């Protein structure tokens, strides 16, 4: 049986104290992801810094909707939101405190083509960095 690491227990309690609309569903997903990661990577745990960065972003961000979550082999969390017309925003929350983001959207002049906009920033600057992109994703509230 998988024992929840102390940092994960702390994060789940913190998440449950937020105003994130889907906090319970997200907490359940993080626990399942953590358990699967520990099984796949011989007892290693998801990055506490990466998970905290995800929660920080969700609390501060206008991004709407529940994200799909996966983990990288390094234990970082990867979140993905899907919008209309094949639009997609993905963010990898790194243990270093950085975040890598990628936005896919139809090209406004050539709708048969897909634009890919990428960048890297510090997690605490991420909400302001991606806010101008929110309308492009179709995820803005």
| Per-residue pLDDT tens digits for 17-57 | 998 989 999 999 999 999 999 999 987 999 999 999 999 99
Q: Is 48 helix (H, G, I), strand (E, B) or coil?
A: helix
Q: Please, are residues 99 and 93 in contact by the beta-carbon 8 Å criterion? A: yes
| Per-residue pLDDT tens digits for 66-93 | 999 999 999 999 999 988 888 899 999 9
Any idea where the domains of the chain sit in the sequence? 6-137
Rounded to whole angstroms, the Cα distance separating 38 from 20 reads 26
**Of the candidates 71, 32, 73, 77, the residue with the CA atom closest to the CA atom of residue 54:** 77
The Cα-based distances of 126 to 18, 30, 132 in angstroms read: 18, 21, 11
pTM score: 0.89
């Amino acid at each position: 049986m998988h024992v929840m690491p102390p940092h994960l227990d702390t994060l789940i309690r913190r998440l449950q104290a937020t105003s994130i609309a889907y906090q319970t569903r997200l907490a359940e997903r993080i626990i399942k992801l953590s358990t699967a990661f520990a099984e796949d990577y011989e007892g290693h745990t998801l990055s506490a810094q990466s998970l905290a960065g995800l929660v920080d972003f969700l609390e501060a961000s206008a991004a709407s909707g529940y994200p799909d979550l996966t983990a990288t082999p390094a234990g970082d969390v990867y979140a993905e939101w899907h919008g209309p017309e094949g639009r997609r925003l993905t963010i990898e929350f790194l243990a270093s405190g950085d975040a890598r983001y990628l936005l896919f959207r139809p090209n406004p002049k050539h709708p048969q083509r897909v634009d890919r906009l990428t960048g890297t920033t510090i997690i605490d600057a991420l909400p302001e960095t991606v806010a101008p992109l929110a309308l492009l994703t179709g995820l803005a509230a």
